[in-house]
Structure 1
Amino acid sequence: MEFLHPLLGALSTIHGVVSLITLTLLEIILGIDNIIFIMVVVYKLPKHQQNKARVLGLGLAMLTRIMLLGSLFFISHLQKPLFVVASMSFSGRDMVLLLGGTFLVIKALLELKEQVSLKDSKTETRSKKSFLLTLIEIMLIDIVFSLDSVITAIGIAKHLEIMALAIILAVVVMMFFSQMIGDFIEKHYRVKTLAFVFLLFVGMSLFLEGLHLHINKNYLYIGIGFALLVECLNIFIEKTLQNPKN
């Protein structure tokens, strides 16, 4: 149990506890993009495999973040310029964001196209989607989402142990709510479409950030949050009209 001593020592101070709480909340917020991607990817799997894929996907997200934490030297070098194009320097981090953003944009556009043109292909699509391919997709996009999350954590906390514990706690919370969120998204067609639009905007944001064009993600979250609130109100009104009180 000696490996717990550094963690207990870090948590023995008020600053350590505050850092843990702050980082845990931050990891949950930063993990919203990740969890939505996992939800919309696993819904194509057979019903009996969906929950397993959610848990494994979030577990992979946790392992990715912890592995990146253990590679602080590598992360610090990712931010150093690799080459210059038209007086604009590009680092390893920039390339990850560009590739990840492009992947998300293409993925979201393909899913939106399918939502519009193949409304009755749900069963067919699931039969063609392999469990292994789904996990590979989740693992690849986990790297993109984890990168900024870990860099942010490094900037807030001083102790590696606190960062790792915050990541574990955040993933446990997300695992607890993942099935509820997934069932809600799958049940409501328009919410599913909204989730794809959200991923499209996130992908565009990541791509632009890779080009050093930073966009305040608060505007993105506020816009999508407002749209989700309106959709939830629509769902509530529809249910009320379908089941009027006598």
Structure 2
Amino acid sequence: MQEILTLAQSPEAWIALVTLIVMEVVLGIDNLIFISILTNKLPAENRVSARRIGIGLALIMRLGLLGTIAWIVQLTEPVFEAFGHGFSWKDMILIAGGLFLVWKATKEIHHNVDPSDHGEDFIASSAINGFTAAIGQILLLDLVFSVDSIITAVGMTPHLPIMVIAVVVAVTVMLVAANPLANFIERNPTIVMLALAFLLMIGTTLIAEGMGFHVPKGYVYAAMAFSALVEILNMVARNARLRKQQASKLH
């Protein structure tokens, strides 16, 4: 309690908290896009609960990981060396998560391009199995993003209370934004392909990070923001053309 009171009186602590919250929220965008696409494949009555349960369990997992910070930090120590690069457990987690994202995004893109090829889809196979599979995949990917964000947080501040507050606020923002984002993606089919392309890029970035090639996240998010802006302009143009066509039919 004394540590919390001391931090509350420190301007540096407040600056670190705000910075960390912003960083955690931005890092959560990747996860939120994945959750939206994944849960939209479930029956309509299961989507909201799947998002809430998945994000709620993700919060518990992140807080649990914060309780093992000393162990998390050790994940950055090299375990073996290959191709002139020392691979740590963090690198291997990032590579595994990146491969999973690339596989999942490619699979979903193929399904969107060729809807007649249903193949094997264990998300939409049944209500119960699909719900469980969706929750499992949300937690799997959140583990990857959690390890990365917590290690980043440790580098920004040594104070555990600040990290806990930042994580709780960021996950709360994800919980609030999950349904509006998922509904927006569902109402605009072209956004789905853009979001899948984002996941493909993020997965590739994770693999590159795990292989020792640092990709500044600012570049990645700038590319995502630019692409989203272009798509929004396309949507506005399409809606304008539709309104014009409807108006001409009335006359």
Q: Is TM > 0.5 for Structure 1 vs Structure 2?
A: yes
TM-score of the aligned structures, taking structure 1 as reference length: 0.91
- The answer for the alignment partner of 2:198 in structure 1 is 198
Aligned partners of 2:92 and 2:210 also within 8 Å: yes
Amino acid across the alignment from 1:43? N
Distance 2:22 2:110 in 1: 34
**Residue 134 (str. 1) matches residue 134 (str. 2):** yes
Q: Which secondary structure does the structure 2 equivalent of 1:178 belong to? A: helix
Distance 2:36 2:165 in 1: 24
- The answer for the alignment partner of 1:116 in structure 2 is 113
- The answer for the alignment partner of 1:208 in structure 2 is 208
Residue 99 of structure 2 is aligned with which of 98, 102, 116? 102
Distance 2:239 2:116 in 1: 22
Q: Which secondary structure does the structure 2 equivalent of 1:102 belong to? A: helix
Q: Gapped runs of 5+ residues in structure 2? A: none
Q: Which secondary structure does the structure 1 equivalent of 2:124 belong to? A: helix
- The answer for the alignment partner of 2:50 in structure 1 is 53
- The answer for the alignment partner of 1:220 in structure 2 is 220
Amino acid across the alignment from 2:88? S
**Residue 24 (str. 1) matches residue 47 (str. 2):** no
1:160-214 Cα shifts (integer Å, max 9, x gaps): 0111011111111221121111111111111111111100111111011111011
CA positional deviation for 1:230: 1.2
**Residue 76 (str. 1) matches residue 73 (str. 2):** yes
1:30-72 Cα shifts (integer Å, max 9, x gaps): 1111111111111111111111111222222322222221111
Q: Percent identity at matched positions?
A: 37
TM-score of the aligned structures, taking structure 2 as reference length: 0.89
Aligned partners of 1:11 and 1:17 also within 8 Å: yes
- The answer for the alignment partner of 1:38 in structure 2 is 35
Q: Which secondary structure does the structure 2 equivalent of 1:126 belong to? A: coil
- The answer for the alignment partner of 2:157 in structure 1 is 157
Amino acid across the alignment from 2:15? V
Query: Where in structure 1 do 4 or more consecutive aligned residues deviate above 3 Å?
Result: 124-129
Distance 2:151 2:40 in 1: 30
1:82-112 Cα shifts (integer Å, max 9, x gaps): 1122432211111101111111110110000
- The answer for the alignment partner of 1:242 in structure 2 is 242
Aligned partners of 1:45 and 1:127 also within 8 Å: no
Q: Which secondary structure does the structure 1 equivalent of 2:161 belong to? A: helix
Per mean C-alpha deviation after superposition, the further-off stretch among 217-226 and 196-205 is 217-226
Distance 1:37 1:86 in 2: 31
Amino acid across the alignment from 1:237? A
CA positional deviation for 1:158: 2.4
CA positional deviation for 1:241: 2.4
- The answer for the alignment partner of 1:171 in structure 2 is 171
Distance 2:167 2:197 in 1: 27
Distance 2:54 2:162 in 1: 23
Aligned partners of 1:60 and 1:142 also within 8 Å: no
1:8-35 Cα shifts (integer Å, max 9, x gaps): 4322211122221111111100111111
Q: Gapped runs of 5+ residues in structure 1? A: none
Q: Which secondary structure does the structure 2 equivalent of 1:212 belong to? A: coil
Amino acid across the alignment from 1:76? V
Distance 1:86 1:240 in 2: 54
Distance 1:12 1:56 in 2: 36
Distance 1:72 1:127 in 2: 38
- The answer for the alignment partner of 2:59 in structure 1 is 62
Amino acid across the alignment from 1:155? G
